[in-house]
Amino acid sequence: MPDVDLLLHSATQLCVAPPDHGGPQRGEALGDLGLIEDGALALKDGRVLAAGTTADLRARFSAARELDCAGKVLCPGFVDPHTHLIWMGDRAVEFERRIAGATYMEIMAAGGGIMSTVRATRGASVEALVAEARPRLDRMLAHGATTVEVKTGYGLETRAELQQLEAIVALDRSHPVTLVPTFLGAHAIPAEYQGRADAYVDLVVQEMLPAVAEKARELHLPTLPFCDVFCEEGAFDLAQSRRILEAARALGFPLKIHVDEFKSLGGTSLAVELGALSADHLVTTPPEELALLGKAQTVAVALPCTPFGLGHHEYTPARALLAEGAALALASDCNPGTAWNESMPFVMALACRTLRLTPGQVLVAATLNAAFALGMGDRVGSLAPGYAADVLVLDVPDYRHLGYRFGANPVATVLKAGRIVVDAGGVYGAA
Ligand code: NIG
Ligand code: FE
């Protein structure tokens, strides 16, 4: 009988979240959990060797170690494909002003918003950036996130943007969570370029992108980071977004784009045209552009914590996206301005109510489909054989408690690449 490193067994339910013909679960097909009752997982060398019933796997494998999951649910580790995890300070005062009636874009136009976090973040050392972000990442992990995308974008000058990239890489290399870096030099027009947005775009295209590519080589990253742009009135218009993304693509950067968060500028069409891996936010996207996502490889990433965090009532039209056949994913958008949320279970609970998705749909959108938004859907986000053994043991009797319940953490145990990194809420050592 073949030996395995670890056998997880006797789970009330095992949610495999299988890929659909090697791809994300698109459209109305979203929500196939590949559910196995009395489920078990055989793990070897950091990967899933087999998923099945307890009886089936016990008959097939002998295990060096076992973990009894009776009364619990097993599912893939959550993948959070859109965060701004690296920042200093906070914006609690702005939050209070927004609650009193000021809008997010008004505060930004007056020099606050993203720029106020840039002022707090620019001067920080790589060590300080890592030290500030690490406890947030610990809490994300404790809430089940095992792969997290992280953007730069609070530097907005070459040196500070590079430092933020270095901080993301340093954190990735010293923490169990896999971090996926994104360069977001086009997050806002910095104060010193007010009224000269095109000159800032020149800087991004001519200086920052080549410098980021060089830094990625220096840091021995296996691929270039993503390049992202905040395409929005008051940030980067469609022509500026196109210039940056086309220049990035020419250098080999894979693309992402913030679109239609407040006002639709045509960014979704641009994302599809340029073959971006994801288009994110999609709150005000017109129907004809939602339809484009139905036919594209570009994953639609909904961020329900953002309207919620802003106290808005308009959310991504997720059901319309599914009706069009789009691949829908969920992310936290964790950032100090619109959505300081570190919990994917909260994202999922919010998505059930505001996006009208079922618990099965939000679970796949926060695992398999989120991995596809990062170009990693062939190796993380599912518990099918061959996938990374990033596994959650949920202290709930049925997967539907994800979504149904909110405000407490359902995650009992987290395994990363087959190793227990969180047990009963306590975070164990580094990777
Ligand atoms: O995704 N929209 C741009 N970026 C963030 C907000 C960042 C901030 O306010 O600091 C977002 O909502
Ligand atoms: Fe964002």
Q: What is the DSSP code string of 38-59?
A: EEEEEEETTEEEEEEEHHHHHH
Establish whether residue 258 lines the binding site of ligand 1, counting it when its CB lies within 6 angstroms of any ligand atom.
yes
386 CA → ligand 1 middle, Å: 35
Q: Indicate the helix (H) or strand (E) that contains 97.
A: helix 92-99
Same domain, 128 and 189: yes
92-97, long-range: CB < 8 A, 24+ apart? 94/337
Same domain, 341 and 258: yes
Same domain, 304 and 403: no
Same domain, 168 and 205: yes
Predicted local confidence at residue 2, as pLDDT: 82
Same domain, 193 and 62: no
Same domain, 407 and 305: no
Report the residue among 338, 340, 341, 347 best suited for mutation to probe ligand 1: largest number of ligand atoms under 8 A from its CB. Answer: 338
Establish whether residue 113 lines the binding site of ligand 1, counting it when its CB lies within 6 angstroms of any ligand atom.
yes
Establish whether residue 236 lines the binding site of ligand 1, counting it when its CB lies within 6 angstroms of any ligand atom.
no
Q: How far is CA 233 from the centre of its chain?
A: 24
User: Could you tell me the CATH number of the domain that includes residue 9?
Assistant: 2.30.40.10
The residue to which tokens 């950091």 are assigned: 46
> Which atom from ligand 1 is nearest to the alpha carbon of 333?
1
Ligand closest to CA 80: 2
Q: How many CB atoms lie within 10 A of CB 369?
A: 32
Residue nearest to atom 7 of ligand 1 (CA): 337
Q: In DSSP terms, which residues pair with 70 in a beta bridge?
A: 11
d(CA 421, CA 179): 15
335 CA → ligand 2 middle, Å: 7
Give the residue numbers spanning the domain of 136.
79-372
Same domain, 168 and 272: yes
Domain finish residue from 351, 372, 393: 372
What proportions of the chain, in percent to the nearest 5, are helix, strand and coil? 35, 25, 40
Buried b / exposed e along 49-69 (16+ C-beta atoms within 10 A): bbbbbbebbbeebebeeebeb
> Which atom from ligand 1 is nearest to the alpha carbon of 113?
9
> Which atom from ligand 1 is nearest to the alpha carbon of 337?
9
Q: Which residues, 6+ apart, have CB-to-CB distance to 267 below 8 Å?
A: 231, 238, 241, 257, 258, 259, 260, 279
Predicted local confidence at residue 425, as pLDDT: 54
In this prediction the pTM is: 0.98
Whether the CB-CB separation of 147 and 376 falls below 8 Å is answered with: yes
Count the residues in the chain: 431
C-alpha dihedral sign at 208, 209, 212, 214? negative
The structural domain count of the chain equals: 2
Backbone φ/ψ region at 27: left (φ over 0), alpha (ψ -120 to 50), beta: left
Q: Which residues, 6+ apart, have CB-to-CB distance to 29 below 8 Å?
A: 20
248 vs 24, 210, 380, CA distance in Å? 25, 9, 26
Predicted local confidence at residue 1, as pLDDT: 79
272 CA → ligand 2 middle, Å: 18
Same domain, 85 and 72: no
Predicted local confidence at residue 429, as pLDDT: 42
Return averaged pLDDT per consecutive 10 residues of the chain, 431 residues in all: 94 98 98 98 98 98 96 98 98 96 92 96 98 98 98 98 98 98 98 97 98 98 98 97 98 98 98 98 98 98 98 97 98 98 98 98 99 98 99 97 96 97 65 37
User: Could you tell me the CATH number of the domain that includes residue 154?
Assistant: 3.20.20.140
Same domain, 245 and 313: yes
Same domain, 65 and 161: no
Same domain, 267 and 203: yes
Domain finish residue from 335, 350, 372: 372
Same domain, 88 and 117: yes
